[in-house]
Amino acid sequence: MMKSTGNESLYGFSVSLYRGRFRIAVNGQEHSLTGNTLVLLSSGQFVEISGDPGDYSSRTVEVSLDEILEFPSPVDLDIINLAMTHPVIPLDENEVSCLFLYYELLDRQQSQSPSAYRKEITGSLVYALMLEICDSFRMLTERNPDMPRPKQEILTDDFFKLLARHYRTEHNVGFYAERLNRTPKYLSGAIRRLSGRSVPDWIDSMLLREIKFLLKTTDKTILEISEELNFSSPSVFIQFFRRHAGVTPLQYRRQG
């Protein structure tokens, strides 16, 4: 058995392609798979993969949040949502063959002698890979619009959809519980069981990603960002960021 819990950063992603027969459990949800499978994980998720190594092969690309934020379109939220709600995606042979080409090109870039444009070429390939993944998921849902799901999984998906729409201004568990017609205790328990992380942790993670995005890609002041994200004051905003990122917002911005 091979077991992985990802790296310590909460803000990166691994994108793996599997061919063959294996079993995988993501945050306690088990999947027995045969064929071609995409596994998209955000760091901090709990993962167990088991099976005879001779029965499957895999290729993995790891992407940091900073790399995602440099992409020329808002693909980041799509990738984040996929990693949280649908980390295991079956693929047909044409889809997996197409995606494997990106892995081959990325490997070739890493094995070649350093070039003036390696970073830009690699970034472009990763960006294209992410777009292909989003498109593969779109086609899967179009092929299976009525795919049955357990009630708890439906609740989890509904929560993450709601979170994606409101995390910038709604930071309280009670807001999401009320919208989903559940008590805060019930919602928190369900999300923790199925994702391995609490509702406040997911809210904080989404907020931190958004703050980093705004600090890196805009000239907005600390006051403007704190007001846009509905913090009660700039000092509360700064304390939040320092607690989660280890530096102040201005220090993070100056890191380039």
Residues 123 and 164 placed together within one structural domain of the fold: no
Calculate Rg over the CA atoms of the chain: 19
Low-confidence ranges of the chain (pLDDT < 70): 1-12, 27-28, 43-46, 65-66, 68-85, 140-153, 256
Nearest CA to 36 out of 9, 16, 53, 50 is that of: 16
Residues 124 and 20 placed together within one structural domain of the fold: yes
Which CATH number does the domain housing residue 219 bear? 1.10.10.60
- Residue 255: how many other CB atoms lie within 10 Å: 10
Residues 23 and 121 placed together within one structural domain of the fold: yes
Residues 157 and 238 placed together within one structural domain of the fold: yes
Number of compact structural domains in the chain = 2
pLDDT at 100: 87
pLDDT at 4: 36
Residues 214 and 132 placed together within one structural domain of the fold: no
What is the spatial distance between Cα 197 and Cα 252, in angstroms, rounded to a whole number? Answer: 25
Residues 17 and 91 placed together within one structural domain of the fold: yes
Q: Which of 143, 174, 194 corresponds to the end of one domain? A: 143
Nearest CA to 16 out of 45, 29, 177, 202 is that of: 45
Residues 10 and 114 placed together within one structural domain of the fold: yes
Residues 34 and 131 placed together within one structural domain of the fold: yes
Residues 48 and 122 placed together within one structural domain of the fold: yes
Residues 24 and 98 placed together within one structural domain of the fold: yes
Q: Which of 108, 143, 178 corresponds to the end of one domain? A: 143
Residues 27 and 97 placed together within one structural domain of the fold: yes
Domain, as residue range, for 204? 151-254
Which CATH number does the domain housing residue 104 bear? 2.60.120.280
Token match 């919208």: residue?
179
Q: What is the 3-state secondary structure (H, E, C) of the chain?
A: CEEECCCCCCCEEEEEEEEEEEEEEECCEEEEEEEEEEEEEECCCCEEEECCHHHEEEEEEEEEHHHHHCCCCCHHHHHHHHHHHCCEEEECHHHHHHHHHHHHHHHHHHHCCCCCCHHHHHHHHHHHHHHHHHHHHHHHHHHCCCCCCCHHHHHHHHHHHHHHHHCCCCCCHHHHHHHCCCCHHHHHHHHHHHHCCCHHHHHHHHHHHHHHHHHHHCCCCHHHHHHHCCCCCHHHHHHHHHHHHCCCHHHHHHCC
What is the spatial distance between Cα 137 and Cα 225, in angstroms, rounded to a whole number? Answer: 32
Q: Which of 88, 117, 143 corresponds to the end of one domain? A: 143
Residues 218 and 139 placed together within one structural domain of the fold: no
